[in-house]
Amino acid sequence: MKLGIIGGGGLLGATAAFYCAVNSLVDEIVLYDIRENMAKSHSIDIGLAAADLSDTIVREGPIGDLKGSDIILNAAGVPDKIGSRDDYLSGNIGIIRDFGQWVQEWNDQPVVICATNPVDVLNYKTFEFSGLPREKCVGLSRNDLARFKWAVSSETGLSPRSFDAFVLGEHGQFQVPLFSSVISRVTGEKVLFTDRQKESILQKADAWLGEYQGLNAGRTTGWVSGVNIGYIIELIVSGKDEACACSVIADGEYGLYGLSLALPVRLGPEGVREIVKIDITDEENAALTRAAEKISGLIKGC
């Protein structure tokens, strides 16, 4: 299986490539970046690091070498900065438009993972510009779950590995952490929270991102994103029967149409196998609707 990465010279592209290479998730990884020297540098470095661990081939190449990829990760974007993810829209929409044109010219049907912010809007635009079926377009939103699980653990003392959960909605201000979905892997029962705990958990998750951005380090959350992208690729390659939340194109699911946002899905080599229906509370459903309204407005504006 072949993985192509646009933005392979950047932090997200390189960390995802490293994770996939050392874990032997695919047979070949091709890194493309407008900074050819950076893509080449990462391909040499990752290839050597993985040589004794994996048979995955890692190389750099021009954009045309991504033709024939089974999976394409679009991790290209304008430089990271302090502010809302929506602030990247005007700078990144052109990247998505160019990518859509390339896919049409290649006449391929890859599964595309969009990791370019604002993910929900640009995943929908990937679907629109490329002409790919909606099941082929998957947006990275799993970082929200990582922060939510970390905050739950920080508040309750539970190990993040001891429970499952979902975060739906927008990859941004209008994300919807589902407290009702937190299930113990030990007992199989729901984990219950007081109102005070819920408020504290939400504050912790929000503060984590604010503190990170406040460092003004000029880099995005590359290692977190790399691991979570790798997890999505692993589910696509393996077809494992495991539900996770990704930004996907809704066509009636949860009463939503004509947009992309995080919903529970099952993935496989064909992309999105199923958008999974789970029970959510009225309050969570209302929050999901608010997220959809915000994303729809941004899509219509670009």
Cα distance between residue 293 and residue 246, in whole Å: 18
Domain boundary assignment for the chain: 2-139, 142-300
79 pLDDT band, cuts 50/70/90, is low
Angle, helix 11-22 to helix 222-238, in steps of 10 degrees: 50
Amino acid type, 266? R
Q: How many other CB atoms are found less than 10 A from the CB of residue 183? A: 15
Among 110-119, 131-140, 213-222, 273-282, the minimum mean pLDDT is found in 213-222
The structure tokens listed for 91 are 């700078």
Q: pLDDT tens for residues 228-281?
A: 999 999 999 999 999 999 999 999 999 999 999 999 999 999 999 999 999 999
Inter-residue contact 204 to 191 (CB < 8 Å): no
pLDDT at 188: 95
Percent of the chain with pLDDT over 70: 97
8 pLDDT higher than 50: yes
Q: Say which CATH topology domain 142-300 has.
A: L-2-Hydroxyisocaproate Dehydrogenase; Chain A, domain 2 (3.90.110)
Query: What pTM value is reported for the model?
Result: 0.93
Taking 80 as the threshold, does the pLDDT of residue 294 lie above it? Answer: yes
Q: What is the pLDDT of residue 115?
A: 95
Q: What angle do CA 99, 103, 108 make, to 5 degrees?
A: 155
219-244 burial, b at 16+ Cβ within 10 Å, e below that, comes to ebbbebbbbbbbbbbbbbbeeeeebb
What value does the mean pLDDT take over residues 25-43? 97
Q: Catalytic residue at 42? A: no
Rounded-to-integer distance, Cα 215 and Cα 197, Å: 27
pLDDT value for 86: 59
Residue of 171, 176, 244, 288 marked active site: 171
> Within a 10 A sphere around the Cβ of 257, how many other Cβ atoms?
12
- Of the options 3.40.50.1260, 3.30.1490.20, 3.40.50.720, 3.30.930.10, the CATH number for the domain spanning 2-139: 3.40.50.720
Rounded to a whole number of angstroms, the CA Rg of the chain reads 19
Question: If 0-12 CB within 10 Å is exposed, 13-18 middle and 19+ buried, where does residue 77 land?
Answer: buried
pLDDT at residue 82, as a whole number = 47
